Amino acid sequence: MLPKVRKAVFPAAGLGTRFLPATKAQPKEMLPLVDKPLIQYGVEEAIYSGIQNIIIVTGRGKTAIEDHFDVSFELEYLLESRGKKDLLATVRSVSDLINVSYIRQKEALGLGHAILRAQELVGNESFAAVLSDDVIDAETPCLRQLLDVHEFFRAPVLAVMEVPRENISAYGVVDAEPIAHKGGKDRLYRIRDMIEKPKPSDAPSNLAIIGRYVLTHEIFDCISSIEPGSGGEIQLTDALKKLLHSRPIYAYRFEGTRYDAGDKLGFLKATVEFALRRHDLGEAFREYLKSLHL
Ligand code: UTP
């Protein structure tokens, strides 16, 4: 049997400049959507997709992320002694979730550079990469959808979505041809080329790469051999473009809704929609929103 993808890398060492000042002293991955930090949504997605080994690439605010996934004896003791069983279970379930390892990216030199830091921990295996400021609501977890394609082709697979032309310059964009695939429902593409943050007039399509990837270990050599690209950063898209010379790469237009929670407006939209869906909060919150007479 072919080996399963066992590890997911979470780059969380970016500067989060779009969310200053909140991200001055803590990573944006710790911003809470309702009551859960962004990174926990991503970690849960990985777990629901069958991946249990989590590698977090941290920069500043390292302790906040580590403490979040660690056991908090004081907090557990306090909740236990006060008989707060539900809260205790919530807190314990976070630290029981996963096997987690951390690696440091000392300088924010780009997403590609952050992924390269995980090379030793990943080894010679295929792995997932999750950018947890992209929060994805989907019936089948987005990462699971990508893994299904990866398990069929044994090739790298990137999640893509259609984006309006005027916004395309914020993304890596693929030039890709649709291909038939069982159960793929016109969602699968073979990538011909890709470009990071193109001008709208240079964009080869409206298919933007978002923050879910299944990668093969050859990506590490490609990242090591490229120069800084757009924004002076070591770009993952440039390394993927290089990898494309030696093997096919696929794009999958995933089923689900993606929120850009690393952006203030995207974060607010996600907060409102996730709060409305909560059984303990949704009704009261809906009434409150109605009372605003917008
Ligand atoms: P972004 O470009 O969205 O993050 O990177 P950023 O640079 O932190 O944010 P802005 O644009 O300044 O607001 C995508 C992901 O890659 C990680 C980020 O933490 C985020 O999860 N990243 C980016 C790194 O880990 N290291 C880097 O050097 C750059």
Q: What is the CATH number of the domain that holds 171?
A: 3.90.550.10
Question: Among 10, 133, 171, 235, which residue has the most ligand 1 atoms within 8 Å of its CB, making it the best to mutate?
Answer: 133
Determine the Cα–Cα distance for residues 108 and 118; give it in Å rounded to an integer: 14
Q: Which atom of ligand 1 is nearest the CA belonging to 110?
A: 28
Please check whether residue 267 lies inside any domain of the structure.
no
Determine the Cα–Cα distance for residues 63 and 49; give it in Å rounded to an integer: 26
Quote the ligand 1 centre to 178 CA distance (angstroms).
Answer: 29
Please check whether residue 282 lies inside any domain of the structure.
no
Cα angle value 91/92/96 (rounded, 5°)? 130
- For the segment 93-117, what is each residue's pLDDT rounded down to a tens digit? 766 767 889 999 999 999 999 999 9
CB 211 within 8 A of CB 237: no
Structurally, the chain folds into a number of domains equal to 1
Please check whether residue 38 lies inside any domain of the structure.
yes
Q: Which of 35-44, 62-71, 113-122, 169-178 has the lowest mean pLDDT?
A: 62-71
Quote the ligand 1 centre to 67 CA distance (angstroms).
Answer: 21
* Pocket around ligand 1 at a 6 A CB cut-off: 11-19, 57, 105, 108-111, 113-114, 131, 133, 262
- For the segment 240-280, what is each residue's pLDDT rounded down to a tens digit? 999 999 999 999 999 999 999 999 999 999 999 999 999 99
Q: Report the chain's mean pLDDT, rounded to a whole number.
A: 91
pTM above 0.85, yes or no: yes
Give me the domain span that covers residue 177. 7-262
Please check whether residue 167 lies inside any domain of the structure.
yes
Please check whether residue 161 lies inside any domain of the structure.
yes
Please check whether residue 278 lies inside any domain of the structure.
no
Minimum CA distance residue for ligand 1 atom 2? 14
